[in-house]
């Protein structure tokens, strides 16, 4: 079920935070419920994905210890649990908000397509991962009935691409000549190609976030009502540069969730950014 990766579902909270609804108990409860349902839904996806990848994972130096790959968890039990989790999540999502349920269903269907086919298609594999994050952000906005900023969606997809490409690079370097045996699409990449893609996405992420902070609609009273969000740009720059440092100098990048909690400078910077954004949005 990979509870360590449930942090990805924090993107569902973007809507309630940037819509300035943290003081609305009903909206907060809806967002937390949506977060919980996506954790359960993503767990069903992880189970199915691990069943599909079991043979390849057994040839991976770290993934071979996963419960299904190591045969500590049976395929039958995994599929049964995945079906139950998915059915419950979608039913509860519909009761919570039909629009939210529709996005949850799209998330599930696209993940299934990714697990069995799309992750083996070069470039399309990382684009799918980025779209998963966008669907999370959009679902979080839908559940509290707010329209998410186009800028935030753009920032989300660029940031997700940055993380996905960094993970592909780590896998490629770690597995070396066995990369294509683990995943067909890895054989189509090279460290140089991925570095070029990462450079493009890095610049795009920083530019998109900067433009979002100074956009006229962002600073208008109908949105954030403040022009001080631009002061958080240095924190975003440090966070991305720190991540690049960990990828190229420390050989990290294969597990973004571990970096989030283990690298103290990165974690401190993230907490500072969160605090700064909260103060700017809510203490105008």
pLDDT tens across 107-128, in order? 999 999 998 888 888 899 999 9
Structure confidence by residue, pLDDT tens digits, 151-161: 888 999 999 99
Of the candidates 153, 143, 145, 139, which has an alpha carbon nearest to the alpha carbon of residue 106? 139
Options 1.10.1660.10, 1.10.357.140, 1.10.10.10, 1.20.910.10; CATH for 7-139 is 1.10.357.140
Q: Would you state the pLDDT for residue 67?
A: 86
What residue ranges do the domains of the chain occupy? 7-139, 149-284
pTM for this entry: 0.86
DSSP 187-231: GG--HHHHHHHHHHHHHHHHHHHHHHHH-HHHHSTTTT--SGGGG
Q: Angle at which helices 191-214 and 150-175 pack, to 10 degrees?
A: 160
- Among residues 9, 42, 15, the alpha carbon closest in space to that of 28 is found at 15
Q: What is the CA radius of gyration of the chain?
A: 19
CA-to-CA distance for 40 and 180, rounded, in angstroms? 31
């Amino acid at each position: 079920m990979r509870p360590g990766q449930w942090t990805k579902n924090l993107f569902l909270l973007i809507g309630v935070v940037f819509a300035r609804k943290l003081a609305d108990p009903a909206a907060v409860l809806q967002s937390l419920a949506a977060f919980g349902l996506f954790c359960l839904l993503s767990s069903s996806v992880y189970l199915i994905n691990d069943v599909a990848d079991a043979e390849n994972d057994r040839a991976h130096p770290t993934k071979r210890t996963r419960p299904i790959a190591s045969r500590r968890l049976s395929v039958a039990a995994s599929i049964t649990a995945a079906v139950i989790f998915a059915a419950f999540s979608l039913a509860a999502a519909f009761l919570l908000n039909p629009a939210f349920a529709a996005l949850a269903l799209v998330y599930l269907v696209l993940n299934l397509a990714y697990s069995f086919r799309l992750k083996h298609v070069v470039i399309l594999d990382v684009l799918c991962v980025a779209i998963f994050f966008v669907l999370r952000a959009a679902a979080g906005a839908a559940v509290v009935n707010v329209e998410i900023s186009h800028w935030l969606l753009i920032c989300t997809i660029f940031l997700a691409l940055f993380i996905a490409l960094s993970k592909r690079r780590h896998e490629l370097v770690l597995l070396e000549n066995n990369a294509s045996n683990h995943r067909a699409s890895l054989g189509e990449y090279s460290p140089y190609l991925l570095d070029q893609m990462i450079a493009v996405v890095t610049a795009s992420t920083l530019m998109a976030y900067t433009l979002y902070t100074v956009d006229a609609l962002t600073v208008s009273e109908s949105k954030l009502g403040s022009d001080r969000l631009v002061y958080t740009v240095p924190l975003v720059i440090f966070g991305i540069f720190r991540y690049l440092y960990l990828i190229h100098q420390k050989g990290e990048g294969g597990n973004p969730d571990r970096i989030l909690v283990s690298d103290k400078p990165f974690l401190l910077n993230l907490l500072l950014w969160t605090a700064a954004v909260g103060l700017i949005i809510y203490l105008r």
